[in-house]
């Protein structure tokens, strides 16, 4: 059973520990050689490697990714990404680019993937996402304007949904689901 599939079968504490172990193993397998000079690296701590030749130090990299729940009146935007396994709809998501703030990333990803303009971007929460080494950072935002124009290579469908007509949504494991559940309760 894979790590994602184990979520509903093991205690959350063990799942979180398994996720961290998975990320460290992934990092260890992908940092055997110094990216500066190509020399085999040496382990110097549980999450640190050092090049014995040039002294370059390496730590596991974390890739920040945003999620955004977009409210439009009594509805929220849900999308189906082409890389989703299954038919569920989730939230607009994307990776932080060098040189931008998290809020700029939220605005850019929404604009690029849906053509919509948003405002009132507020932080919701975050979650380690060890597939393989991400940190998911959730935001809530309000719709301002625009018609949905999906970025075809990223999304296969998307629409605003009310509480009464929700499609299949992500499993309890994800921050996206926590955000959707928060919206449903409020």
Give the range among 4-8, 15-19, 42-46, 71-75 with minimum mean pLDDT.
4-8
Task: Write down the domain spans for the chain.
Answer: 3-58, 63-185
pLDDT at position 116 is 98
pTM score:
0.87
CATH architecture of 63-185: Alpha-Beta Complex (3.90)
Q: Are 163 and 75 in contact (CB under 8 A)?
A: no
Residue 5 clears pLDDT 90, i.e. is over it: no
Q: Are 4 and 23 in contact (CB under 8 A)?
A: no
Q: pLDDT (tens digit, 9 = 90+) per residue, 12-70? A: 888 889 888 988 999 999 999 999 999 999 999 889 999 999 999 999 989 999 999 99
Tokens of 76: 């929220």
Task: Give the helix ranges, DSSP H, for the chain.
Answer: 3-6, 12-29, 102-114, 175-185
Give the range among 5-9, 67-71, 75-79, 181-185 with minimum mean pLDDT.
5-9
Burial status of residue 15 (CB atoms within 10 A of its CB: 0-12, 13-18, 19 or more): middle
């Amino acid at each position: 059973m894979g790590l994602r599939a184990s979520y509903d079968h093991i205690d959350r504490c063990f799942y979180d520990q398994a996720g961290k172990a998975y990320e460290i193993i992934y990092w260890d397998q992908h940092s055997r050689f110094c990216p500066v000079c190509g020399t085999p690296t040496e382990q110097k701590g549980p999450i640190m490697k050092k090049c014995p030749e040039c002294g370059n130090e390496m730590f596991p990299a974390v890739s920040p990714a945003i999620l955004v729940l977009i409210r439009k009146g009594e509805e929220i935007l849900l999308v189906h990404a082409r890389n989703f396994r299954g038919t569920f709809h989730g939230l607009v998501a994307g990776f932080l680019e060098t040189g931008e703030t998290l809020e700029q990333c939220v605005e850019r990803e929404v604009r690029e993937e849906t053509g919509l303009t948003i405002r009132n971007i507020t932080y919701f929460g975050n979650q380690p996402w060890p597939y393989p080494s991400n940190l998911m950072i959730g935001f809530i935002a309000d719709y301002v304007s625009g018609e949905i124009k999906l970025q075809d290579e990223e999304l296969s469908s998307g629409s605003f949904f009310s509480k009464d007509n929700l499609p299949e949504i992500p499993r309890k494991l994800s921050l996206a689901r926590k955000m959707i559940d928060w919206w449903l309760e409020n």
